[in-house]
Amino acid sequence: MSVQQVTPQPTGGEASGNRRKQTKRVYLASLIGTTVEFYDFIVFGVAASLVFGRVFFESASPAVGTVASFATLAIGYGARPLGGIIFGHFGDRLGRKKMLIWTMMLMGSSTFLIGFLPSSQQIGSIAPVLLVLLRLVQGIAVGGEWGGAVLMSVEHAPKKRRGLFGGAAGLGSGAGTLLAYAAFGAMNNLSDEDFLAWGWRVPFIASIVIVAVGMYVRLRVEESPVFVSEQQKKRDSRTTAAKPTIPLVALFRERPGRVLLAAALTSGPFMAQAVITTSLIAYATSEYDIPRNTLLTLLNVALVVMLVTIPVFSWINDKIGRRTLYGATAMCFAVFAFFMFPMVGTGSSPMILLTFVLGMAVFNAAGTATSGTLLSELFPTAQRYTGAGVAYQLSGLIGGGVGPLCASMFLAPSGPGPVAVAVMVACFCLLSATCAFFVGDHRELDLQDA
């Protein structure tokens, strides 16, 4: 008589423990992965504001070189919606995890190569062309990264804690920004000649280390259970050989207004933080004669504080609602836009620090902690990667790309000056606050049914 061997199944307590362990692992993967992606993306923005005009557009005047440098910054933001479309399509069809591996590989390789690009003095006009091409790859990668990182956390999270877990990507973006500025801050003791010659390259080349860490963590997480459930439902209900619906086509056919609403919702705060971390620093260095290392040091202090406030705001939006917190944040940013340049212009270190703390550790932290979960809850599972990703990247194109580019033109010697920048930022923040009123409270939504 043979004895059939039975594989032991996990008990209820073991299964619950495994779920908690996997949820924590996914949170960590989203946090570290987004840290890597935003580090890579932000080091470009810092370099664009400090050095690219002189390295890659040497033949142009300083003002034109600055505008051209910010134009390359805008190109990256312009490519982000394309990344949201490409990786959103495959993320909704093939899974979130696979796309997150691809985005990290693309981002890491493009950033690493930028660190070795010859200057325009060495190879002429080919240098800025190569810079633009690598920036396009960066933009496509980060455009696909954000949506997948947010969804992995949100779709793994318990309903009552979606806001907290959805803030993982926001916390990662803050950590990545901090590391990027810290990397440039480490170059403070270099002379201008050394910084221009090789110092700016170090943060780009060093990115390969954190990319390796991010890849290791991401390879160890499981696919989103919400996505797996959706795929199973599709297999169970499929009775014909009809072609699967393309997520982007279905999204704009069924919910075109939702995409535009979501993009407008997040564009204002996105523009405000982009102007603070690029245009404000560049203007303060050139017009207020504030040393670069002073600005970066004070900004880094504010970013450290932001790493504490993002989880706090993530917890708060679970309690009071996503749209309530986000709408209030956008209104505060609209008012703050008229104070940030005068506050930095005082030249007082405490006042500059207060500017960065309010702008980044309070207002930006509240928006960043909330936006991922807020957008994820607006779209059904079959289109969520595409919908949330495309909407957020469109807001990035407007806020993070067009915003600093327009600001650089407003702040040029022949431009209208900081007041025009403040008006632009305030108008977009008021638009975002208005859109928040039209977004429902989805805290009780079951993502399995969406």
Phi, psi of 294 (to 5 degrees): -65, -45
Integer Cα distance of 418 and 234 in angstroms: 53
Burial (Cβ within 10 Å: 0-12, 13-18, ≥19) of residue 401: buried
| Per-position DSSP letters for 67-99, written without gaps between them | HHHHHHHHHHHHHHHHHHHHHHHHHHHH-HHHH
Please list, in sequence order, all residues whose beta carbon lies within 8 angstroms of the beta carbon of residue 130, skipping any fewer than 6 positions away.
Answer: 117
Integer Cα distance of 263 and 448 in angstroms: 24
CB 182 within 8 A of CB 125: no
CATH C-level class of 24-228+246-436: mainly alpha
Helical H segments across 219-255, by residue range:
225-237, 247-254
**In angstroms, what CA-CA distances link 27 with 141, 156, 331?**
20, 9, 30
Phi, psi of 437 (to 5 degrees): -70, -25
CB 288 within 8 A of CB 347: yes
Which candidate, 130, 141, 39, places its Cα nearest to that of 100? Answer: 141
Q: Is 23 helix (H, G, I), strand (E, B) or coil?
A: helix
Q: pLDDT tens per residue, the chain (450 residues)? A: 444 444 454 555 555 556 677 777 888 888 888 888 778 877 887 787 777 777 887 766 666 766 777 677 778 777 888 888 899 888 888 888 888 889 888 988 998 999 998 888 888 888 888 888 898 898 898 888 888 888 888 888 888 888 888 888 888 888 888 888 788 878 877 887 888 888 889 999 988 888 888 888 888 788 878 888 877 777 766 544 455 567 778 888 887 788 899 999 999 999 999 899 888 988 998 888 888 788 888 988 998 999 999 999 999 999 998 989 999 999 999 999 999 999 999 999 999 999 999 999 999 999 999 998 999 888 888 888 888 888 888 888 888 878 888 998 899 888 899 999 999 999 999 999 999 988 878 777 777 655
Q: What are the structure tokens assigned to 215, written together?
A: 């890849």
Kindly tell me the sign of the dihedral angle through the C-alpha atoms of 440, 441, 447, 450.
Answer: negative
Phi, psi of 150 (to 5 degrees): -65, -45
pTM: 0.80
